[in-house]
Structures are given as C-alpha cells and as structure tokens.
C-alpha cells in the first residue's frame, strides 16, 4: 500500500471574508493552527518519501480564489516543494475533471491522508469520492478547516464531519478519522 498526503485548497484567501468582522479573526487563527499542523504533516511525508499532492482551486475572475491573484496562491507555509504535485480543480470534488486519479495511479497510491479546506465542501466531497473510487482514506481530524455557516460555527462543522465521516465506507474502502498525532507514513 502506497500512502500519499493530499492537501486541499489551503490558499491565501480560502476563508477571507467568509465571516462577520468579530468572528473572522477567530477563524483566521484557527486556520493558521491547522496550516501549521498540515505543514508538520507534510514535512513528515517528505521525510518518509511519501508523495505530497496539493490541490488548488482555480476561481473565475472576481472570485476570492481567482487564478493568478494573491488569494489564489497556496499559503506560503505549504508552497510546493520539489517533487510535490499540484492539481488544479474548479469544483468541490478534487477528482472531477482533474488529473488527480492519474497522478495517484502513477505512484500506485491506494491510501490517502487528507487535510485542507473547506470541510463541508471540498474536503467532504473529495474524501467521499476517493472512497467510492476504491482509495482508503485517513481524514486528519485536526487538519481541516472552514468558516462559520449561517447556523453553525466552524468548530461544530469540523466536529460534525469528523463524526459523520469516521468509518464511512464504499465497498472495501473506508474513511478513518484520526488526529495528527496518530498519523504515520
């Protein structure tokens, strides 16, 4: 089994302007903590020789993640290192109309360790799709982030998805949710 680290949409403006002025600094601080954990996990993947794949959302002109803008850029803490792969997408599903599956097949990947943004959209959709395609997935419980929604705060959304996705399966493939401290390559 070959394991790869998949980091989804950790871009400069991923959560910019997604909350009220009083909540935005709290969300930004939580995102910074998540990015720090993902950076440590990426460093561990590099030391272990595991493939690292960064997914970057390509927004249309005027979108906060519009291609070529500062908001679109991958956060500097996770900028691609030599040997890392960047996959570009235009929808929540990192596999939809991308070369992600081909990139994983080139490396004989069967297991994905996943973190990134936004929990209820791109992270959720991608991990469910991965399992339906036959990949085993470990979702990093403290390695994905989002903004508040109209009725839930970001911490509740993350907790809900961790609970909902743990032990989710399709055929023989399964999602397990584990904290970063329990993840090894």
User: What pLDDT does 127 receive?
Assistant: 98
Measured in residues, the chain has a length of 185
Radius of gyration of the chain (CA): 15
Reported as a single tens digit per residue, the pLDDT across 72-105 is 999 999 999 999 999 999 999 999 999 999 999 9
Domains: count for the chain: 1
Identify the domain containing residue 77 by its residue range. Answer: 2-182
Per the DSSP assignment, residues forming a β-bridge with 66 are 59
| Confidence check: pLDDT of 1 > 90 | no
Contact 7, 78 (CB under 8 A): yes
Q: Can you give the pLDDT at residue 167?
A: 97
CA dihedral 155, 159, 161, 163 (to 10 degrees): 180
Q: What is the pTM of this model?
A: 0.97
Mean pLDDT score of the chain? 97
Residue 17: predicted pLDDT: 87
Q: Which residue has the tokens 């991608």?
A: 126
- Report yes or no: 85 and 54 within 8 Å, Cβ to Cβ: yes
What percent of the chain has a predicted confidence (pLDDT) above 70?
100
Two structure tokens written together for 29:
């601080």
Q: What is the CATH number of the domain that holds 84?
A: 3.40.50.850
The predicted structure's pLDDT at residue 150: 86
Give me 19's structure tokens: 């909350």
Quick one: angle between helices 154-165 and 124-132, nearest 10? 10
What contacts 68, CB < 8 A, 6 or more positions away? none
**pLDDT tens, residue by residue, 103-149:** 999 999 999 999 999 999 999 999 999 999 999 999 999 999 999 99
For residues 119, 120, 126, 127, the Cα torsion angle rounded to the nearest 10 degrees is 80
- pLDDT tens-digit profile of 30-41? 999 999 999 999
Distance CA 7, CA 5 (A): 6
């Amino acid at each position: 089994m070959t394991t790869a680290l998949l980091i989804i949409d950790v871009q400069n403006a991923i959560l910019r302007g997604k909350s009220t002025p009083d909540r935005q600094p709290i969300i930004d601080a939580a995102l910074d903590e998540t990015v720090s954990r993902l950076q440590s996990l990426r460093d561990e993947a590099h030391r272990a020789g595991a493939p690292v794949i960064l997914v970057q959302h390509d927004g249309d002109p005027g979108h906060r993640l519009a291609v070529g803008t500062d908001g679109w850029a991958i956060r500097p803490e996770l900028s691609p290192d030599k040997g890392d792969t960047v996959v570009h997408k235009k929808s929540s599903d990192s596999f939809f109309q991308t070369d992600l599956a081909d990139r994983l097949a080139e490396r004989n990947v069967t297991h994905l360790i996943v973190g990134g943004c936004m929990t209820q959209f791109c992270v959720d959709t991608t991990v469910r799709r991965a399992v339906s395609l036959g990949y085993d997935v470990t979702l990093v419980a403290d390695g994905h982030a989002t903004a508040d929604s109209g009725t839930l705060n970001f911490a509740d959304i993350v907790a809900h998805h961790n609970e909902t996705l743990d032990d989710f399966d399709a055929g023989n493939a399964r999602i397990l949710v584990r904290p970063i401290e329990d993840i090894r390559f």
